[in-house]
Structure 1
Amino acid sequence: MNKILSLLPGYNCGSCGFKQCRDFAAQITDESSLMRCPFLEREMFRTNLEQLKGLVGQEKNEDKVTGIIDGLRADFSLGPLHSECSCREDIHPLDGSLEIEIGDILRYRPLGCPVTHFAKVIDRSPGIFTVHIVGPLHRLGKNDFSFKDAGLCMILAFEGIVIKGKVPSMCQTVKFLPEHCMMQKVHSGIVVSVEGRRLRIEAIDLKVW
């Protein structure tokens, strides 16, 4: 995205429909979307426009992310933070009576997902548990481990690194594919934190409109 941004006029005029050129750059997907910037057709930016067309075509092929089960196009795939096994997820068990501690393995089903998950608790706050997904059962490779049954859970947030695709802007509603998702299902949510390629996404929904 930085290369694309460097070739835009940089006027931050809002003519494209975005407040800043950076926001516009994050949304460019093809040559037609480039034309939302009226200045690129001016003679002084003709060379930039040709370079941008080449970059857009290249990034379109390299950064394409598609869900397998639904065939939906995602904006990016989300992978784990450095040296971690999966994206971090914040979950909220609908049954609040279970005593859960850091280090516990939970068995649960995310609201809206048909797959039973197993996850290790790495942090906690009242009613919310941050976990690493460690598998459906076959992924764990054993049948005799202990776990706590958390039942149905709401998925509140994801945190991870953009592995493939464009880094979104703050407050942007996105479609993303968690790399560890067994169904390779596209999720949606709102970006609430951006640090380089590290994101936190909240208001998670498995329904992608």
Structure 2
Amino acid sequence: MDEILSLLPGYNCGSCGSRQCRDFAAELKSQGDLQRCPFLSREMFRDNLERLSLLVGGAPPAEEKIVGVIDGLEADFMLAPLKDECSCREFIHPFDGSIEIKIGDFLRYRPLGCPVTHFAKVIGIDPGIYTIHLVGPLHRLGQEDFRFKDIGLCMILAFEGKVSRGELPKVGQTVKFVPEYCMMQKVHSGMVVGVEGKEIRIEGIDLKVW
């Protein structure tokens, strides 16, 4: 069981229906049970999933449909960070333009259409538009050395990342996708405006997919 536990994501998020990862590990009876964990399908855990499949019996699972956990909608692909980056690049526009923001600042904000507060680091600035890396819906707020600027409600203008699982889209295609690091595993939508290999840019982002 310890080996199985070491291969699980360790988030203790409860998305699988168990109270924590240790309980989930104890309940695993077959490779089908592994599908209860939405994070094991991410690229970063792909090797772990194959090893877990062998440990609980059977071959690694075949590619399955990508379904948002929070909304049950089917997505075209998972969007992963670009090489050596911690999250997809997001391009945001704060509704409150009075706050001075610099590269390297940490921001607290809520995307329009999402109920979760996000924390991000600014990596680029254009007039009214900030390029950010997401550092978490939840952060180490108890640490005295962590400072952030609260910028309130923001519009999400674009994503840049790479397709890690699912269908590679074409330029001009309207798509449904799930960012790998989204804690809600929510389906987003938008229009693909750039494709280079598996790296893509999506604009016209809508978090309210119908």
Q: TM-score, normalised by structure 1?
A: 0.69
1:116-155 paired onto structure 2 within 5 Å: 116-138=117-139, 140=140, 142-144=142-144, 145-155=146-156
CA RMSD of aligned residues (A): 1.2
- For residues 76 and 158 of structure 1, the distance between their equivalents in structure 2, rounded to whole angstroms, comes to 13
Distance across 1 between alignment mates of 2:142 and 2:70: 27
State the SS of the aligned residue for 2:165. Answer: strand
Q: Whole-Å Cα distance in 2 between the matches of residues 190 and 208 of structure 1?
A: 13
8 A Cα contact 1:63 1:164, kept in partner:
no
Q: Which residue of 1 aligns with 2:196?
A: 195
Q: C-alpha deviations, 1:16-67, integer Å up to 9, x for none?
A: xxxxxxxxxxxxxxxxxxxxxxxxxxxxxxxxxxxxxxxxxxxxx5152111
Deviation (angstroms), 1:189? 0.1
Aligned partners of 1:91 and 1:129 also within 8 Å: yes
Q: Deviations over 1:49-102 (max 9, x none)?
A: xxxxxxxxxxxx515211100111000000000000000000000000010000
Per the alignment, residue 75 of structure 2 pairs with 74
1:150 is paired with a residue whose SS is: strand
Q: Does structure 2 conserve the Cα–Cα contact (< 8 Å) formed by 1:63 and 1:76?
A: no
User: C-alpha deviations, 1:85-124, integer Å up to 9, x for none?
Assistant: 0000000000000100000000000001010000000000
Aligned residues, how many? Answer: 148
1:207 Cα offset (Å)? 1.6
**2:90 is equivalent to residue 89 of structure 1:** yes
Deviation at 1:142? 4.7
Query: Which is higher, the Rg of structure 1 or of structure 2?
Result: 1
State percent identity of aligned pairs: 70
> Is 2:179 aligned against 1:173?
no
Q: Which amino acid aligns with 1:206?
A: L
Q: Cα deviation per residue 1:103-161 (whole Å; 9 max; x = unaligned)?
A: 000000000101000000000000000000001224x4754310001100000000000
Query: What are the ranges of 5 or more consecutive residues in structure 1 without an aligned counterpart?
Result: 1-60
Which amino acid counterpart does residue 205 of structure 1 have in structure 2? Answer: D
> Which residue does 2:187 correspond to in 1?
186
Q: Which amino acid aligns with 1:121?
A: V
Q: Which runs of 5+ in 2 are unaligned?
A: 1-61
Distance in 2, matches of 1:207 and 1:136, equals: 18
**Alpha-carbon separation, structure 1, partners of 2:99 and 2:64:** 42
Q: Secondary structure in 1 aligned to 2:178?
A: strand
Which residue number in structure 2 is paired with residue 11 of structure 1?
A: none
- Which amino acid is the alignment partner of residue 117 of structure 1? H
Q: Report the residue type matching 2:88 in the other structure.
A: C
CA distance in 2, matches of 1:74, 1:117: 22
> Which residue in the other structure is 2:209 paired with?
208
